[in-house]
Amino acid sequence: MRQCACYPCLMHPRRSRFPLSRLLSSRSLLAWLLCLPMLAVAAVDNPEQYGGESFTITLGEDTEITGRHFPTNDGPTVLWIASGYGLHPRHYRVARALAAQGMDVWLADLLESLFMPPGTTSIRSLDGHYVAQLATQLCRRRGQPVTLISGSYGAIPVLRGARLLQRNSRNCLAGAILFSPNFLARVPGLGEEPEFLPIIDATNIPLVIFQAEKNSNRGQSQQVLARLQRAGATVWVRPMTGVTALFYDGDTTAATRTTLRQVPQQMRTLLELLARTPIPAPRPAPNIAPRTTGTPVPGGLDHRLRPYHGRPEPWPLDLKTAGGQRVRISDYRGQVTVVNFWASWCPPCVEEIPSLNRLKEKFTGRPFRLISINYGESPQQIRRFLKKVDVRFPVLLDEDGRVARQWKVVAFPSTFVIDTAGRIRYGVNAAIHWDDPAVTETLEALLTAE
């Protein structure tokens, strides 16, 4: 299996330099084996090209946090925390544009400074003290409260840090701005309800959420919003129409490019709104500390095709192909059906296509069908993709992500196996070899079942 992170690849992706067979054999490469809402991309090697100046801030006796500072004299202070996979070109460009709007911006990649491996596990493990200490030092230097910014899983240490600031230095906190935040405690298994970290139930500060319409975490955004509001948080939500991952350079749609141009001015206005909103005392809450290494969160990631324990009835489909042909499926009985959710920006999704082609060929002439559902991409994007990659099965388009949300898909690829009685029997939320004997024997057993 492979993980990326939109995210979602999540988020949210590097180009693989390894064959799928090597990647599938190593659990240590979990961050490559599944495409989540947070998109994992290569961090910037030379941030100097984007201007600003480097900084080093010492926390405690010997912890040094480094980053990039885009200074202004009197504007509002912003502390921007990387989301788990480093700082990327668009972060620096937006930070530079914010500075041009009069904001004093500090970009920091905590995981890099702390010599921690990049990824969602590391960023979820941060308890908020580094964020709170950084914000407190900036507050004292600048003589004004600090607005915290992050995205995806970076929202977790940011809100933990905000709560510490509420408790110890409330005058140093102005609020937070979050881009498509993700608070999943673990990747849910196929069909499972998501489990969120308790920090969202303990947060009552003013927040702005920029939510990408096509990011796969959109399916949980209403649940997150409801819980934040129940906790007493004042939340303003700004939808980003047509956007999958704002800070992923591979998301080059016109909607994303337009949003990138608009965000700096919008953020300036929203910072003024946050500055006018009082910061309340922290609300009493249960333990919100991250789990220690001795009590890991069980993952919902699959290493192989496994029995499915969610809703057994598959949702009907009514979608179009990239060529405009309408495909409707309301009755799944009479055939074994494999439904594969994927995206072209997800390397594991692409790398399992050849084995899916071979699977379809193996069962040609049998009561078997293979359907793929592309997540969040336009017909033009998929037509270009199909000219480059040999795909021998139908590709349906879920442009707005509605179908993925119905099927509770949060990771890519995610694949469901439906038996001849029309019930979902097996599933996998990672890339596998679909022509592996263990897989084909499972499908053969469904085809020959009485």
Residues 6+ apart with CB under 8 A from 431: 1, 2, 20, 24, 33, 34, 348, 349, 351, 352, 413
Whether the predicted model's global pTM rises above the 0.95 cut: no
Same domain, 371 and 231: no
Q: Is residue 3 pLDDT above 90, yes or no?
A: no
Beta strands in 18-153 (DSSP E): 53-59, 63-70, 77-81, 104-108, 146-151
Which segment of 139-143, 228-232, 302-306, 316-320 scores lowest on mean pLDDT? 302-306
Does residue 28 belong to any structural domain of this protein?
no
Does residue 126 belong to any structural domain of this protein?
yes
**Interval 308-343: pLDDT, tens:** 988 999 999 999 999 899 999 999 999 999 999 999
Check residue 389 and report its DSSP letter. Answer: S
Give 11's strand partners: 37
Same domain, 164 and 205: yes
Q: What percent of the chain has pLDDT over 90?
A: 70
Give the CATH number of the domain where residue 331 resides.
Answer: 3.40.30.10
Q: How far apart are CA 236 and CA 208, in angstroms?
A: 5
Same domain, 146 and 46: yes
**Interval 82-100: pLDDT, tens:** 998 899 999 999 999 999 9
Same domain, 63 and 189: yes
Check residue 312 and report its DSSP letter. Answer: S
Same domain, 235 and 339: no
Q: How far apart are CA 210 and CA 221, in angstroms?
A: 11
Same domain, 220 and 329: no
Does residue 1 belong to any structural domain of this protein?
no
Does residue 287 belong to any structural domain of this protein?
no
Question: Which position has the higher pLDDT, 1 or 227?
Answer: 227
Same domain, 321 and 221: no
Does residue 10 belong to any structural domain of this protein?
no
Same domain, 47 and 140: yes
Does residue 99 belong to any structural domain of this protein?
yes
Phi-psi sector, 195: left (phi>0), alpha (psi -120 to 50), beta? beta
Give the end of a domain, one of 252, 275, 298.
275
Task: Please answer whether residues 200 and 182 qualify as being in contact, where contact means their C-beta atoms are separated by less than 8 angstroms.
Answer: no
Does residue 19 belong to any structural domain of this protein?
no
Same domain, 326 and 194: no
Closest CA to 209 of 241, 175, 183, 237: 237
Task: Report the number of distinct structural domains present in the chain.
Answer: 2
Same domain, 66 and 118: yes
Helix (H, G, I), strand (E, B) or coil at 327: strand
Does residue 267 belong to any structural domain of this protein?
yes
Give the end of a domain, one of 275, 294, 320.
275
The whole-number pLDDT of residue 438 equals 95
Q: How far apart are CA 220 and CA 217, in angstroms?
A: 6
Domain extent at residue 79: 41-275
The whole-number pLDDT of residue 193 equals 84
Q: Determine the residue type at 404.
A: A
Same domain, 61 and 197: yes
User: HSE (CB half, 13 Å, CA atoms) of 59?
Assistant: 19
* 307-317: burial string, b at 16+ Cβ within 10 Å, e else: ebebeeebbeb
Alpha helices in 363-436 (DSSP H): 379-388, 402-406
The whole-number pLDDT of residue 225 equals 95
Which segment of 3-7, 10-14, 117-121, 204-208 scores lowest on mean pLDDT? 10-14
Q: Is 150 exposed, middle or buried (0-12, 13-18, 19+ CB in 10 A)?
A: buried
Give the CATH number of the domain where residue 129 resides.
Answer: 3.40.50.1820
Q: How far apart are CA 87 and CA 310, in angstroms?
A: 37
Give the end of a domain, one of 275, 295, 317.
275
Q: Is residue 289 pLDDT above 50, yes or no?
A: yes
Same domain, 241 and 367: no
- Residues 139-165, mean pLDDT to the nearest whole number: 97
User: HSE (CB half, 13 Å, CA atoms) of 2?
Assistant: 30
**Interval 161-173: pLDDT, tens:** 999 999 999 999 9
Confidence of residue 288 (pLDDT cuts 50, 70, 90): low
